[in-house]
Amino acid sequence: MKGPHNIIRLIRTGATLERTGAMDVVLEAFRAPPHLRFAARLLGWPFKWLGLKGDPALPPATRALTALGPAYIKFGQVLSTRPDIVGEELAQQLKYLQDKLPPFPTEIAKQMIEAELELPVSEIFSEFSEPVAAASIAQVHRAQLADSGEEVAVKVLRPGIERAFRKDIDAFYLAARWIERLAPFSRRLRPLDVIAHFEGVVMGELDLRLESSSAAEFAANTEKDEGFRVPKPHWFLSSRNVMTLGWAEGIGLNDNDLIDAAGLDRRIIAARVLQLFLNHALRDGFFHADMHQGNLKVAANGDIIAYDFGIMGRIDEYTRRVYAEILMGFIRKDYRRVAEVHFEAGYVPADRDIDEFARALRAVGEPIFGMDASRISMARLLSYLFEVTERFGMATRTELILLQRTMVVVEGVARSLDPRINIWEVAQPIVERYIAESIGPKAMLRDMVKAARVLARFGPRLPALIEAQLIRSGNPPMPAVVERRVPPLAWLLVGAAFASGFGLSALF
């Protein structure tokens, strides 16, 4: 993690952006202020000769990111879904990063499969195609199983990908430390924690056994979701570096012309993508966290098909309720309640003014409602929201990073299909249904059942726990008292817990 190679890596990043001509494109897309442009030039121009050349056939930004490596490509994939932030032209250029990167040779892929599965490829598959898609982490081949004739997708990790990612992440850690030291105000954003979170996500994506597990869990959770499909994994043909899934035919959500030619309504598809994501995040607490267009297709009947389950998000029930209440507050324009939820959850320091925070939130929310989405500048809104978080001392919540990032990507996908979509109107029925089921009398009873069951499990340990607490408090009980009085009280509590637990559980 330490060493001069990380400094060189960061300098080379700036130099590569300069050499490929991407520096001007990126700074202009983000409307960078003059002082930031000067700093970027200072980092890139003197060392231009150190920059990576990249593929001259590609546009500048795409050329630079592909040359810099997989972690930078991941960043570009996120930006490719946000033309409202980086501009339509740059977003179109970056779509190349989703699934059209240069593949590695098929023979190497076959050698990796044989080494992992310990069987010749010819015995496993009767047909095995050239790569049909190639992204930053892996590439996909279409194949047919020799024993059953079933068509499958075979995903194979790029050779040496883990080492390449680690080099990038090491440099990101160094950059985060510099940012914290040179800009103390940035510490509330916890840049080191953000990089650590990113590292954990990426390292999990590099083990296809974990992705197979995620695909199986996601398929089970969404089996009854109308208009949504998840290909199921073939466990006996999957390992750390190879994963085999059922094949599902569809049109990529990055090809609007083909979707239109197929007679599908892009407005319906856009709304479905957004509602499915919210449903999975709120209902299940387990969601696809890499939902760019390269990982989504639409079938001939309009069903959404999801692929690539290397990055999945998980949020606990309490956080889901907080998130839903915040969304619902915005939908109802109840900014006071949105502010209260932030304070109750500890997202805003308690010494700040709740009314002032509510007023700032109104300035974020009001421009969105009743306005054509194509007229909303998401870049300006995000900029103002950042100012609000800084003003009120809000720290970065690492447990929400993946959820927030995915929401940005999903909204970008929906907008690319329907530029006039209003995310709040589309989200309202999903959020209202979740709140009706999760925040109210029925939810309270369900919580009581769970508490009773936990208490019941700890029943046998209650006497010892009570005695230990009394001893710690400096009032050790007499043995006779403990023997005569504590157990009956403890078991009375346990009995009540069992009774209420079994009784209430019949209601759900």
Secondary structure string (H, E, C) spanning 119-144: CCHHHHEEEEEEEEEECCCEEEEEEE
Helix ranges (H only) for 366-461 are 378-391, 398-417, 423-438, 441-457
Overall average pLDDT of the 243-265 stretch: 92
What 94-98 contacts at long range (C-beta under 8 Å, 24+ apart), as own/partner pairs, is 94/61, 94/62, 94/65, 95/254, 95/293, 95/294, 96/58, 96/59, 96/62, 97/62, 97/65, 97/66, 97/73, 97/135, 97/136, 98/135, 98/254, 98/292, 98/293, 98/294, 98/295
Domain co-membership, 383 together with 449? no
Domain co-membership, 155 together with 300? no
pLDDT of residue 481: 45
Domain co-membership, 389 together with 285? yes
Choice between 246 and 34, residue whose per-residue pLDDT is larger:
246
Split at pLDDT 50, 70, 90, the class of 396 is low
∠ CA 410-413-418, nearest 5°, is 120
pLDDT at residue 280 is higher than 70: yes
Domain co-membership, 360 together with 402? yes
Q: Could you count the other beta carbons within 10 Å of the beta carbon of residue 446?
A: 16
| Block residue for tokens 């029930």 | 317
Choice between 74 and 240, residue whose per-residue pLDDT is larger:
240
pLDDT of residue 238: 93
Domain co-membership, 215 together with 296? no
Q: Could you count the other beta carbons within 10 Å of the beta carbon of residue 81?
A: 28
Q: Which of 98, 120, 149 is the last residue of a domain?
A: 98
Domain co-membership, 253 together with 237? no
Least confident piece of the model among 23-32, 143-152, 473-482, 495-504: 495-504
∠ CA 90-277-329, nearest 5°, is 100
pLDDT at residue 476 is higher than 70: no
Active-site residue (options: 84, 225, 290, 418): 290
Choice between 254 and 489, residue whose per-residue pLDDT is larger:
254
Domain housing 386: 249-439
> Is 290 among the catalytic positions?
yes
Q: Residues 229, 106: contact at Cβ < 8 Å?
A: no
The size of the chain, in residues, is: 508
Domain co-membership, 295 together with 367? yes
Q: Which of 414, 439, 464 is the last residue of a domain?
A: 439
What does the DSSP 8-state code read for residue 157? E
Q: Which of 383, 417, 439 is the last residue of a domain?
A: 439
Overall average pLDDT of the 269-283 stretch: 92
Percent of the chain scored above 90 by pLDDT? 29
Least confident piece of the model among 117-126, 300-309, 370-379: 370-379
Domain co-membership, 66 together with 115? no
Least confident piece of the model among 24-38, 238-252, 415-429, 431-445: 24-38
Domain co-membership, 83 together with 154? no
pLDDT of residue 487: 43
Beta bridge partners of 305: 229, 297
Q: Residues 392, 351: contact at Cβ < 8 Å?
A: no
Residue whose C-alpha is closest to residue 320's, from 198, 197, 431: 431
Domain co-membership, 270 together with 157? no
Domain co-membership, 373 together with 237? no
Q: Residues 37, 47: contact at Cβ < 8 Å?
A: no
Choice between 193 and 459, residue whose per-residue pLDDT is larger:
193
Choice between 107 and 190, residue whose per-residue pLDDT is larger:
107
C-alpha span between 218 and 477 (Å, rounded) = 52
Number of domains in the chain: 4
Domain co-membership, 93 together with 20? yes
